[in-house]
Structure formats: C-alpha cells, structure tokens
C-alpha cells in the first residue's frame, strides 16, 4: 500500500526562504527555522531546503541556518545546494541534516552520487532534477535552473538511481510556483 507523505520544499537564498514562479521573480518568504517549525506543526512529514544560488555562485551551502533548523524541528530534513564533494555532504549531516540533495555537481560529476551513497547510504542521498520542456523533450537544467545540461530528464533520473540515489526530487520548471495542475513529466 502506498503511503502519502507531505514533504515541503523550501528554496533558500542568502540564508532566507524565497518563493518565485518558474525559478524567477524571487521574493522573501521568511526565516528557515521559523518556517520549518511552522510546517512541522502543520503536519509535514519531512522538509527539504535547497540553497538555490550556491552552485551558480560557485560556493558551498550557507551553513549558518542548517543547525538552527535542526534545533527547531523533530522531523527529518534534507539540505541541498552547493554540495560538490562527499566532505560537503558529511558536513551537512554533522550539522543535523538527515539527507543531502545533489544537483549541479552530480550532473557535472555523476560519480559524486556513488561517493556520497557509499559514505552516507543511499537513503540519505537525494538527487534533485530540474527539468523544462524544450522541443517536446524534458531537458535537465543546472545552476538553479539557469543553465541547460546536455541530458534528458528520464535518462538522468535512471542514471542517478543506478549510481546510488535513494530518492529523486523532480521539479518541472514550467510549473514551479504557478499553482497550476501538475504535468506528467515522464
């Protein structure tokens, strides 16, 4: 029997949660720890936080808010954005995250998925896949949706799972933030 779980995904920029539409026009939505606690109180099963500008800015995830979120909630949470090594991943787990999410660095160096899964276990490795429909195909984008990758969406999902991803976080850039009906991606 399938179980439905509620896992809100919060985008973080400059240490603040932001909301946008189609990955643009970002506006401040609040403090990560306060919002995490509110989502937990409302019944979220788990949370995901993505530092959406880390890869584009060529920096690691801003760490200051991660341990504060860990102290504020008692449900599992995932942190992604700017993770480019297994050391980065282990550091986030040490701060209190239960899982890490890879995107840009994994597309550029797929073996990172296997390295992280070997250290943390596949259950702690999420691969985020940002896709947009182009010429009838689902194309993968990296760097917070700013840069097209030379990968098809379905092919990349299969590869990521084969390399050790325990979960996939697939986002349709075409529908992100629009409150529109979901689209079958694959």
Query: Which position among 31, 51, 86, 130 bears the catalytic label?
Result: 130
130 belongs to the catalytic site: yes
pTM over 0.85: yes
11 belongs to the catalytic site: yes
What pLDDT, in 10s, does the model give residues 20-76?
A: 776 567 888 899 999 999 999 999 999 999 998 887 888 887 788 999 999 999 999
Query: Which position among 11, 51, 88, 176 bears the catalytic label?
Result: 11
The answer to whether the beta carbons of residues 99 and 119 sit under 8 Å apart is no
Cα distances (angstroms) measured from residue 98 to each of 4, 6, 52, 73, 131? 20, 16, 19, 12, 25
What pLDDT, in 10s, does the model give residues 152-183?
A: 999 999 999 999 999 999 988 877 665 665 55
């Amino acid at each position: 029997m399938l179980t439905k779980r509620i896992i809100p995904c919060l985008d973080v920029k400059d240490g603040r949660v932001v909301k946008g539409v189609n990955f643009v026009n970002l506006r401040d939505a609040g403090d990560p720890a306060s919002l995490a606690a509110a989502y937990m109180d409302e019944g979220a099963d788990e949370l995901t936080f993505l530092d959406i500008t880390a890869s584009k800015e060529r920096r690691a995830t801003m760490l200051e808010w991660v341990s504060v979120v860990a102290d504020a909630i008692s449900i599992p949470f995932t942190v992604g954005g700017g993770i480019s090594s297994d050391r980065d991943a282990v550091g986030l787990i040490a701060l209190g995250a239960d899982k890490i999410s890879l995107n840009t660095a994994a597309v550029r160096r797929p073996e990172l998925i296997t390295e992280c899964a070997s250290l943390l276990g596949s259950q702690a490795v999420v691969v985020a896949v940002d896709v947009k429909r182009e010429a009838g195909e689902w194309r993968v984008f990296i760097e917070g949706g700013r840069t097209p990758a030379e990968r098809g969406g379905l092919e990349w999902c299969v590869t990521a799972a084969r390399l050790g991803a325990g979960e996939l976080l697939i986002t349709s850039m075409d529908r992100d933030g629009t409150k529109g009906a979901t689209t079958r991606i694959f």
